[in-house]
């Protein structure tokens, strides 16, 4: 594992109540992720992968246990604290992109920055840098409907990195893409990790996607099982290191 943990999960349980019934989704999970690490989280459908990511991203809270991100115990934050922390600290990439159809690529990427105290000039620079990192400077004024799935996911990734988050969490980011676009998105995530030293949590049930990760954990019926580390780490980092160095998007 690289450096000291940037994420620590301790004794996390998550259950949902449906009337009388209690559904135990996550059971006594503990997990550390190092700064700059690329972790793959695998598991069958319904095993709790999205539930786990939501706890890590501060979209939901555990029923029991602790989630630490950096120095912050996010499992104890109030809703308001969480919302503001999340905007600054987490970049979320979704399977179905979650772009706003009426906004351009530029405007979609700009959205999270509108919640932060930045000058218009700084905001513009961050947006253009993020779109440059994902190779979309020639699509700034396109709307999602005018972009391919792979391009839409690139916009999604630009939106995830534009705030320079501590963690990038991606929930099946290639699940809706053809094989070639999926490869490109995985290459890009590898570049973010190697070039910008971003910490990435990738949820997937595609073994080819998981093989890009440095380490894989498996969720099985709500419990974590450590997998054998993958040796296949591809993607060159040099291409993305240079533009990032000139902006607020730092490793």
Ligand X SMILES: Nc1ncnc2c1ncn2[C@@H]1O[C@H](COP(=O)(O)OP(=O)(O)O)[C@@H](O)[C@H]1O
- Give the nearer residue to Mg ion in terms of CB position, either 50 or 199: 50
Q: How far is the CB of 182 from Mg ion (least distance, A)?
A: 17
Locate 18 and state its tokens: 């449906």
Binding site partner of 23, from ligand X, Mg ion, none, Cβ cut-off 5-8 A by kind? ligand X
Structure-token match 């391919």, residue found: 148
Binding site partner of 45, from Mg ion, ligand X, none, Cβ cut-off 5-8 A by kind? ligand X
- Give the nearer residue to ligand X in terms of CB position, either 25 or 33: 25
Q: How far is the CB of 148 from ligand X (least distance, A)?
A: 25
C-alpha to C-alpha distances, 162 to 91, 97, 128, 134, 158, nearest whole angstrom: 8, 15, 9, 11, 6
Q: What is the dihedral of CA 118, 124, 130, 132, to 10 degrees?
A: -160
| Residue 223 · residue 28 · CB < 8 Å | yes
- Give the nearer residue to ligand X in terms of CB position, either 6 or 25: 25
The size of the chain, in residues, is 251
What kind and span of H or E run contains 199? strand 199-203
Locate 140 and state its tokens: 């700034």
Alpha-carbon distance of 164 to 154, in angstroms, equals 16
Binding site partner of 25, from Mg ion, ligand X, none, Cβ cut-off 5-8 A by kind? ligand X
- Give the nearer residue to ligand X in terms of CB position, either 39 or 127: 39
3-class secondary structure, 79: helix
Contact residues: Mg ion, CB under 5 A = 49-50
Q: How far is the CB of 147 from ligand X (least distance, A)?
A: 26
Contact residues: ligand X, CB under 6 A = 16, 23, 25, 43, 45-51
3-class secondary structure, 166: coil
Q: How far is the CB of 165 from ligand X (least distance, A)?
A: 21
Binding site partner of 78, from Mg ion, ligand X, none, Cβ cut-off 5-8 A by kind? none
What phi, psi does 215 have (nearest 5°)?
-145, 145
Q: How far is the CB of 226 from ligand X (least distance, A)?
A: 17
Binding site partner of 46, from ligand X, Mg ion, none, Cβ cut-off 5-8 A by kind? ligand X
- Give the nearer residue to Mg ion in terms of CB position, either 95 or 193: 95
Closest CA to 104 of 62, 66, 75, 146: 146
Q: How far is the CB of 219 from ligand X (least distance, A)?
A: 6
Alpha-carbon distance of 177 to 154, in angstroms, equals 12
- Give the nearer residue to Mg ion in terms of CB position, either 9 or 249: 9
């Amino acid at each position: 594992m690289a450096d000291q943990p940037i994420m620590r999960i301790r004794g996390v349980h998550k259950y949902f109540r449906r009337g009388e019934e209690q559904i135990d989704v996550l059971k006594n999970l503990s997990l550390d992720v190092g700064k700059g690490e690329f972790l793959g989280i695998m598991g069958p459908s319904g095993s709790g992968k999205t539930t786990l990511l939501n706890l890590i991203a501060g979209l939901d809270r555990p029923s029991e246990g602790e989630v630490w991100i950096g120095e912050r115990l996010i499992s104890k934050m109030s809703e308001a604290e969480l919302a503001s922390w999340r905007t600054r600290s987490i970049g979320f990439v979704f399977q179905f992109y979650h772009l706003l159809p009426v906004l351009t690529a530029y405007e979609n990427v700009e959205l999270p920055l509108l919640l932060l105290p930045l000058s218009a000039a700084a905001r513009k620079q961050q947006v253009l840098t993020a779109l440059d990192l994902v190779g979309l400077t020639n699509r700034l004024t396109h709307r999602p409907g005018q972009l391919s799935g792979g391009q839409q996911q690139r916009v999604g990734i630009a939106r995830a990195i534009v705030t320079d988050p501590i963690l990038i969490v991606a929930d099946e980011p290639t699940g809706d893409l053809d094989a070639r676009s999926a490869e490109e998105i995985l290459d890009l995530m590898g570049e973010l990790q190697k070039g910008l030293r971003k910490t990435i949590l990738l949820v997937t049930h595609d073994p080819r996607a998981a093989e890009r990760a440095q380490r894989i954990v498996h969720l099985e019926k709500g419990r974590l099982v450590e997998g054998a580390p993958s040796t296949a780490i591809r993607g060159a980092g040099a291409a993305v290191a240079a533009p990032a160095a000139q902006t607020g998007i730092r490793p």
